[in-house]
């Protein structure tokens, strides 16, 4: 599988509102020569210490990453306003897109509220689960994202060992044929024009299959590198575009060196 080719859109101006999320993250990847997205999943019962530690990791890794991913646990620990002021603002100032890992998976009106709230707070993309379906599920999320040049990424195959029980299940869909659930989800992501799919880095064979299905340009986001056993080079060779990395960076005594080594591992010059 050839490595994914990055390109800079001709009209790239660094203006968040006029450039799609997909082009913004690609531009950051080119600028910092990296596929690594920092998953800022730190935990601390003391909010001010949590904020300080999160900011320190972002500051240390800023030149070796192409985006930051925030989980609900950081929003629970700090509150959305503090996340916006203390993490999203500095990330935006560094031209690093911010992804909200909301794993949206509810009926339309609550999904819509959550997506709007996260986008208004300054997030550039949200992660959703295709299991909610389109009508009165994710339709409004895609609509809001489209109108603000934001991204929606769809969870397609998780990185944990238990994921197989559901994502590999064979199911019958509209065309009458039987397929694994992750293939059905991948096709939905294409049909709905998602700006990327999430496939665990622990599953290089599944990444290869998803790459085959989506073609060369749809970004594949791969979490599970390092702490969960995924190998960056294997994921990239299988077709992953971006690597989502948490503990291997933020739990290291030297997050900058750790981020640099993830960057070097799969492809020292991915662009
Ligand atoms: O590198 P880690 O293992 O410390 O963290 C991995 C991050 O990726 C963490 O933020 C998880 O929430 C996320 N993640 C997975 O680990 N596995 C998945 O299947 C999906 C995700 C994810 O990002 O979903 C969008």
**Residue 32 confidence class, pLDDT cut points 50, 70, 90:** very high
What are 54-89's pLDDT values in tens digits?
Answer: 999 999 999 999 999 999 999 999 999 999 999 999
pLDDT of residue 17: 58
pLDDT for res 270: 45
Question: What is the structure's pLDDT at 265?
Answer: 65
Closest approach atom of ligand 1 to CA 226: 1
Check whether 4 has a pLDDT greater than 70: no
Buried b (16+ CB within 10 A) or exposed e, 47-59: eeebbebbeebbe
76, 222, 223, 249: residue to mutate for ligand 1 pocket, most atoms within 8 A of CB: 223
Which pLDDT value is given to residue 269?
A: 41
pLDDT in tens, 163-177: 999 999 999 877 778
How does DSSP classify residue 174?
A: T
34 or 174: which carries more pLDDT confidence?
Answer: 34
Tens digit of each residue's pLDDT (9 = 90 or more) over 102-156: 999 999 999 999 999 999 999 999 999 999 999 999 999 999 999 999 999 999 9
Rounded Cα distance between 202 and 206, Å, is: 9
Helices (H), the chain: 21-32, 47-61, 72-78, 80-83, 89-93, 108-121, 139-147, 164-167, 181-191, 204-214, 232-238, 247-250, 255-264
Neighbours of 159 (CB within 10 A): 20
**Per-residue confidence (pLDDT) for residue 61, from 0 to 100:** 97
Q: Whose CA is nearest to atom 1 of ligand 1?
A: 246
State yes or no: pLDDT of 183 exceeds 90. Answer: yes
Instruction: Give me the pLDDT at residue 18, please.
Output: 82
261 confidence band (pLDDT: 50, 70, 90): confident
Looking at the CA of residue 200, tell me the nearest atom of ligand 1: 19
| Confidence at 1, pLDDT banded by 50, 70, 90 | very low
């Amino acid at each position: 599988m050839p490595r994914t080719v990055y390109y800079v859109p001709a009209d790239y101006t660094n203006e968040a509102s006029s450039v799609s999320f997909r082009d913004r993250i690609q531009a950051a990847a080119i600028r910092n020569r990296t596929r690594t997205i920092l998953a800022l999943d730190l935990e601390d019962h003391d909010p001010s210490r949590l904020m300080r530690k999160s900011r320190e990791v972002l500051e240390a890794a800023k030149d070796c990453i192409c985006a930051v991913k925030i989980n609900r646990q950081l929003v629970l620990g700090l509150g959305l306003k503090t996340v916006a002021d203390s993490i999203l603002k500095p990330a935006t100032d560094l031209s690093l897109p911010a992804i909200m890992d909301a794993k949206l998976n509810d009926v339309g009106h609550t999904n819509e509220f959550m997506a709007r709230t996260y986008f208004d707070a300054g997030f550039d993309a949200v992660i959703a689960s295709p299991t909610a379906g389109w009508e009165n599920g994710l339709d409004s999320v895609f609509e809001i994202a489209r109108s603000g040049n934001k991204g929606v990424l769809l969870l397609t195959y998780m990185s944990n060992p238990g994921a197989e029980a559901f994502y590999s299940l064979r199911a019958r869909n509209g065309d009458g044929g039987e397929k694994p659930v992750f293939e059905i989800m991948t096709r939905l992501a294409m049909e709905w024009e998602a700006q990327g799919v999430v496939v665990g880095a622990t599953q290089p064979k599944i990444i290869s299959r998803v790459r085959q299905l989506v073609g060369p340009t749809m970004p594949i986001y791969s979490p599970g590198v390092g702490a969960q056993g995924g190998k960056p080079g294997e994921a990239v060779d299988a077709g992953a575009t971006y690597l989502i990395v948490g503990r291997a960076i933020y739990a290291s005594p030297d997050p900058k060196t750790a981020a640099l080594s993830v960057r070097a591992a799969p492809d020292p010059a991915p662009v």
